[in-house]
Chain A
Amino acid sequence: MNINYAYLYDGFLSERKYEREVAALETKLNTYDLAGKISRLALFREPKDLVMGMVNKRISTIVVVGNDETLFKIIGLMPELNATIGYIPLAKPSAVADLLSIPIGSDACDVLAARFVETLDMGLIGDQYFFTEVFLPNTRAGLNVEGQYQVSPVSGGSLSIRNLGGIKNPKQNQADAKDGLLEAVVIPNEEKKRSLWRRRRADKQDTRIMFSNGSLVSDKPINFFVDNKLVSGQKIEVSILPGSVRFITGRGRVRKTEKVLPKPKKNATLASRE
């Protein structure tokens, strides 16, 4: 057993349909001499307690096993810890795995064994860290950038604040988690069609602004998704924390892809780090 590695399994991996995948994973980890202590996330176990326990035992690499939602539960704890994070996706959603060039299944062990560690940025919104994006669907809220100017959709639209994200327009660069900046993308609601023959221009570009800190501003409380988790607030500060997490990634990191996160669930519940 490798004392420097610990594995956090998501609860859903206990289901029968994942038995084979988990067995193949553990065999491969043994082959690479990367097998370590395994802990399981459960409904009444705080992820923070599990992770702190690992760090207190001088474990230097914490590997999340599950899917992107499993990763989001843990990665928000990492900026305050002196540890490296790895990720083994065994199920969807796995858009973040695609972005970091980590294959799904036991092949992710190859990435772990290669141990290519990148220092990535994290975003901070209010008192919550985020790794990919903050998303406000159908909003009139504005983004105040460093108290100097405010950008907002004229007739409502969606607002994304991305640290690591996909793109809608392949002609635009993807948000990079190593540039020390956040990317604000505003997509206004399309004007009502006055003619059946009027079409949206194929090369229409979305509003895109790079910045390091700002605040979301609205007259009334707004609902938004932080790494796919529903949160609400009215005036919330947002900023970038450059180089705040060490992540084991694949060497051929994908730079252009489809939109990162799946559509947020309709019944997503409010969750807070408090």
Chain B
Amino acid sequence: MSHFSSGDKATATIIAHGVRVEGNFSSQSDVLIEGEVEGNVSTTGMLTVGSQARLKADVTAENASIAGAVEGNLHIGSHLDIKATAMLLGDVTCETATLESGATINGKVIIGSAKAPVTRDQEIKITKGQINDN
């Protein structure tokens, strides 16, 4: 199912408390969510998830500020701001992040450019090097 792009860059989209969105939602403007979303959310702008928001969705955004509950994976292109009331259940990928005390994250978190994981052979070499040095 292809994504539909709604709204122009200057007009923010607001999903207020008490409103439900179901399906693949995408926008080219800033998005503020205080309601319920089930499906997928993507924007090329700033995504703000308020403290009363409940998302069961994979989220893709350039920047994001999360203060509510998100059950799904977050892919943030630049900066992710996780507020104290945020509850994230899923993997998080972003370039930079700030995390307030009190936030809950249950998933894999990758911040910054991901480096190749260290292989077993590399681990052995490193260990031997340390022994030799000693």
Contacts and interface: CB of A to CB of B under 8 A. Distances in A.
Contacts of B7: 181, 209-211
B14 A148 contact: no
B36 A207 contact: no
Contact of A210 (B8, B23, B35, B39): B8
Contact of B25 (A147, A149, A152, A181): A149
A202 interface: no
Nearest to A156: B18
Contacts of B14: 172, 205-209
Q: Which of B4, B25, B35, B39 has the most CB of A within 10 A?
A: B4
B42 to A, nearest CB: 11
A189 interface: yes
A155 B19 CA distance: 8
Given A148-B1, A148-B3, A149-B25, A181 B8 contact: yes
Contact of B6 (A153, A157, A209): A209
Q: Which of B19, B23, B26 has the most CB of A within 10 A?
A: B19
A157 B18 CA distance: 9
B35 A146 contact: no
Contacts of B12: 208
A210 B27 CA distance: 9
B111 interface: no
Given A155-B18, A206-B16, A207-B35, A148 B4 contact: yes
A211 B25 CA distance: 12
A188 B23 contact: no
B18 A154 contact: yes
Indicate the size class of the contact surface on chain A: 20 to 34
B20 A151 contact: yes
B13 interface: yes
Interface string A128-145: 000000000000000001
A211 B13 CA distance: 10
B21 interface: yes
B22 A154 contact: no
A210 B11 CA distance: 8
Contact of A179 (B8, B16, B32): B8
A204 interface: yes
B16 A145 contact: no
Nearest to B38: A149
A150 B6 CA distance: 13
A207 B18 CA distance: 9
Given A148-B4, A154-B36, A210-B6, A188 B16 contact: yes
A10 B12 CA distance: 40
A149 B4 contact: yes
Interface of B: 1-4, 6-8, 11-26, 32, 34-36, 39
Q: Kindly list the 4 A-B residue pairs having the minimum CB-CB distance in the complex, ordered from nearest.
A: A149-B23, A188-B18, A148-B4, A210-B7
